Each structure stands twice: as structure tokens, then as C-alpha cells.
Structure 1
């Protein structure tokens, strides 16, 4: 790998990587020459300002799973996942759930572990989603809701309620045929109309439980597909007609649905999703305050994650300029090269890598 050095920064022992020419294009020092103090002194007397030096490529070791996945986090996630799955089945089959299971999920230890800032973002991207796509999506939205509640400086009670609303966000899909939910092709208008009913189904299912008295949770589940410009469903509400829970959950739902593994589509780079979210903000579909806050804080939390690049390489996010909402990161590849994706537009992030993908 060639690296340019100012002449005054050269050191004896360096290996010249490209012929050094004089003013008449004559070779002064040939490629492969080992620099000496005498050669460096001679160069200082000439109008030559930089020399290309051959350097060994720095290979960045990709860490093993033990550095990417936190055992305590995974144990907590799996425990909550199984409890949530059991509650979904109970609600679908019997119209109720065990309140003690919900209390166990919302136990302070679980809440603190799962919604632990940057670690939470790293873990939910590093994990491979196994089991129910629906349950995993709702659990991820619940975790993101816990982060968002903290970023908004909401009261602890509001944070807890937002998490619960996120956990039950798509419970209404339990009443929709898997053939429709898992269909790989384009949905027919009739099928899409059925899918859109999941918000009302979810609201009705939660309405049969002790959560029915909690207006924030009920509105969050019902309104997470409403849009500020009135283009959403089920009631085409606009801006302030939509509850704060509905406006927040709309953002979290879109993000996880696009950035995570899905049955019918490849997951996207979070930074591609940010562009989509920001377009929806500018077009008046999503809440500006909540949307910008989410993108900025999640960008910060993505620092350090491993990514796959469109040129086939792998790298680690090392810097993101948080002064711009749609700023792209600087990535250090496994060869030690730093790529600023804001200026190198020919290379893009394909996706955040899971621990399994990194170790493969």
C-alpha cells in the first residue's frame, strides 16, 4: 500500500514505492530504494514536496462473537422474547394474557438491560433474528421505544408505557393470514386492505385486557400507521390529531421494518433508512421533532458497528458527523483504509453485519 509523505517527514529505512523524478522527469530515486539520511538531505534541497512510500497493509482483526454479542443481553432478550411470544398466543387464542408475564417483561432489570443506549442498538443489529418475525419486530420496536423515551427525557412512567405500546404494536397481525403477511410478491388491493386492518385489530385485542384503560398505549397501537399529512390509516388523522405515542411509534416501526431481516425483503442499511425517514419528515408525513431526534441519536449509537460495503469489503464505523441529519459515516476497512462515504459516493453500506455474518 502506497502512502504519501512530506519530504521533511521521511525517515531512514523507508522503502520508496514510486519513482522520484526531478524537474526534467529524470529518475532521481528508483522505486524499491531504501531511504537513507543522505538521500533525504538531497531531496530537501530540491523542489520536491512528497514521496510515495511502500507500507505494509494494516490488517484489522474482526473480533469473534464474544466481542460482538453480550451474553447477558442475549439471555435477557431471549427470556423476554419467549414471554412476549406466549402473551401473543394467549391474546390471539383466548383474548387475554397473564398480567404477571407483562410485569416480568417490564421488570426494571429487563428494562434497564434491553434499553441500555448504544449497547442496545449494537446488540439488536448484531443478533440474527430467529423465531417469529412478528415477535422479534415488536420486541425491537419496544427496545427502540425505551431508547426514544430516554432521548426525549420523558418520565419513567411514560417511558414504560411507550415500551409496552411498542411491544404490542403489531399484535393485530395475529388475526391476519400468514399467507398474506409472508407473501413475497405484491399484495393485491384486497390483501393490502386486510393488512391495514391490523391496527384496529390490535387496538381491539388490547382493549379486552387491563391495558384498555391506558389511553397512551391504546392510541399508540391504533395510530402507528397514521401520517401527519393525513395519508395514513385507519382514520387519516393529521399532525396534532395523532397522539405523541402514535407519532413516535410510526418512526420506530418504519426503521426496524426496513433495517431488519424480513421474510419478503432484504434488510437495508440504517443510513438508507435514515434517508427515507428524512424524506418523509421533509414531506410532512412524519413528526419533525421526533424524527430528527431519533436519527441523530441512533447515528451516534451506530458508531463501532461492523458493516458490509457495496464493494465487497467489510469495515467498522469509526466516525459520524452528527451536525447533519443525513451524514454518512467514515468506515475503516479490514485493510486499515479509511473511507469517508460522504465523499466516496461509489461505495455504500449494504447492511450492519450480525455476529454470525462476521464470524463466517
Structure 2
């Protein structure tokens, strides 16, 4: 049977199960070849992350079902969630929050843990959530903003400010009636116009705090629903007038909104979300540089995650071709079978599974 190995896990003598190609589609090592140290060293110098190896005996069990949740991560997430929810309530009720609380929330240790690469992506998908969706969504966007800031190589200060903008971008929804915000069904034109005001509401609410002095944060919050072609809101800005924070947060907000469970909509496969994001990039709505970078890095972070398949099976992502935006993963099912979803098009990923769903 074929098994996917990370290149750094290869060893001499393993038999190549499928041709190893370079970035131009040329065969580097043919099927059936026994690997040597020299071959492995050559692969390590190339943008090749995984290869297929022929194994005679199937694995007794699939690794990865244990330790789906990291206790340190979930404890940190829950502590930050409680702080953020408290600040939201204070801002909604009193028009202000304690600046020292924000400083404590943004403690370097918190976001060192919460925005820790691949772990962050797997953990925010694996957890079950209690409490208002709004606060979880804003925290997710803040975490994704921390990741994006690192992927872009932003300064520490800009990373910090981008995270804060992500944490508060939707706080204005607290001014939208719950029966409208959580409506199960199509909104009326009047209801949709009210929901669209949340970006301005968010801006107005945080303008009453010390964050008002930071224009990067303020513009990011106000502009996270603007679109590069002018079709967004509240001010129908075009690309040259939208801040970098606004362009980045538009992508992060869309991803989490579609990939998470909401009262009125079930979570979607991240690959369906990527397709939607990429369509919006091609249509000139989302920024190309930020959008492509986000999709590529998040694809890499999805390796190892457990997913539900449209045929009812559970499977683990074991390989993704990160060189192609629309690539679909190779997965391994609970019975050890490998399925290349790029070839088996009738089977689709329906969603990322939580830890409880994997174990049930």
C-alpha cells in the first residue's frame, strides 16, 4: 500500500510508490526506486514536502487521533475568550473598557501560544465552543491576524495592532438586534441594511476608547467589508483607498465566517471556502497578494487535520499540493485507505472535525 512520508522523515531503502516530480513536472525519482541518502538530500533542497512510499503492511492504526486538543492552548484560548467577552460587555454598556485589561489581554505570551502556526489552525477547528458566537468569531479573526502578521513579516508593533483590529472588528454587531443577526433564513432588504451598519457601529464604539488614536486599527475595523472593486460597505471604497489592514481583515473575516458553525449556517469545508475566496480574488474583490498568501499558508496548516467526507467517513489530511491554489488533499480514512480527492471527485471534504467528532 502507499503511505505518504514527509521528506524529512525519509530514510535509505524506502521504495518510492509514485513518481517524484519537480516543480516543472519533470520526474526526479521514478516509481519503484529504492531511496539513497544522496537522493533524500537532493529532495530536501527542493520545494517538495511529501512523497508516496510503497509499504507492504498497512499501519495498524492511523496516528493523529490522540492529543487532538492541546491543554495549554485551550486553557489560554478560554482565558482570553473570557477577558474579551468582558471587554465587549463593558464597551457595550459603558462606552469604554479599561486600557489595562486590553494590555493584559494582549500579553505577548497569550498570542505567542494562540497564533502558533499549524497548531493554531488545528486547535480553533478542534474545539467545541460555549458562549456567544460573536466573541469566538472575533477571537478567531484575531488569532488568524496574528498568523497573517507573521506570514507577511510585519513588525511586532504592526502584528500587535492587526490582532487588536481583528479582535474588535465585529463588536458593532452588539448593536444589531439578535433576531436579525441570528435569523434563520434570508434577511429582508431592511434587515440586511441594518446588519451592514455593524462596521460603522464597531468603528464608533472603539472610537470612544484609547484605540481611537491608532488609525491602522480604526481603518481596519471600519473597512473590513470594503472590497477592492468598490462593491463593499460602508463607503464603497476601491482598492487604492482601502488600508492594508482592511484588505487583510476582509479575507480573515470571510474565512472564519464560512468555516465556523453559526446559528443560521453550518460550517463549510475549508476547500470550499478557499474556492470562494479565490473566486473573489479573480473577480477583483479581494486583494491578490494577501489572498493568495493566506490560502497557501493555511493549506499548509491544514495538514494533519481530521475531516468529514461526503461519503460519511472520517479521514485525516496527509498531503496537500501547496503549489496550486485549488488543489485538494490526499486523505487517509480510519481503515487506512488513502484517497486522492483531486482524482476521486465524487468524494468531497464537508468540514473540519472537532476533537469530539473524531473520537465519537
Alignment TM-score > 0.5, same fold: yes
Q: Which runs of 5+ in 2 are unaligned?
A: 2-55
Tell me by how many angstroms 1:135 deviates.
0.0
Q: What's the CA shift for 1:334?
A: 1.0
What residue number does 1:50 align with? Answer: none
Q: Deviations over 1:270-317 (max 9, x none)?
A: 010000000000000000000000000000000000111001111110
- Give the corresponding residue for 2:237: 237
Tell me, yes or no, if structure 1 residue 96 matches structure 2 residue 96.
yes
Shift of 1:356: 1.0
Runs (5+) with no aligned partner, structure 1: 2-54
Q: Which has the larger radius of gyration?
A: 1
**TM-score, structure 1 as length reference:** 0.83
Structure 2 equivalent of residue 280 of structure 1? 280
Matches for 1:87-166 after TM superposition, within 5 Å: 87-166=87-166
* Cα displacement (A) at 1:241: 0.6
Q: What's the RMSD between the two structures over aligned residues? A: 1.4
The 2-side partners of 1:99 and 1:338 are apart by: 52
1:189 and 2:175 aligned: no
Aligned-pair CA distance for 1:358:
1.0
> Following superposition of structure 1 onto structure 2, how do residues 286-325 of structure 1 map, counting pairs within 5 Å?
286-325=286-325
C-alpha separation in 2, matches of 1:229 and 1:276: 16
Task: Using the TM superposition, give the Cα deviation of residue 158 of structure 1 relative to its aligned residue in structure 2, in angstroms.
Answer: 0.3
Q: Please give the alpha-carbon distance, in whole angstroms, between the structure 2 residues aligned to 1:228 and 1:296.
A: 21
Tell me how far apart the structure 2 counterparts of residues 297 and 58 of structure 1 sit (CA, whole Å).
29
Deviation string 1:81-120 (CA, Å, 9 cap, x unpaired) is 0000000000000000011111111101001000000000
SS in 2 for 1:318: strand
Q: Give the aligned partner of residue 202 of structure 1.
A: 202
Q: Quick one: distance in 2 between partners of 1:121 and 1:336?
A: 24
Aligned length: 306
Distance (whole Å) between structure 2 residues aligned to residue 130 and residue 57 of structure 1: 39
CA drift of 1:60 comes to 3.0
Name the CA distance, whole Å, in 1 between partners of 2:111 and 2:64.
Answer: 28
For 1:78, the equivalent position in structure 2 comes to 78
User: Which residue in 1 is equivalent to 2:257?
Assistant: 257
Partners of 2:300 and 2:134 lie apart in 1 by 27
Distance 1:91 1:148 in 2: 27
TM-score by length of 2: 0.83
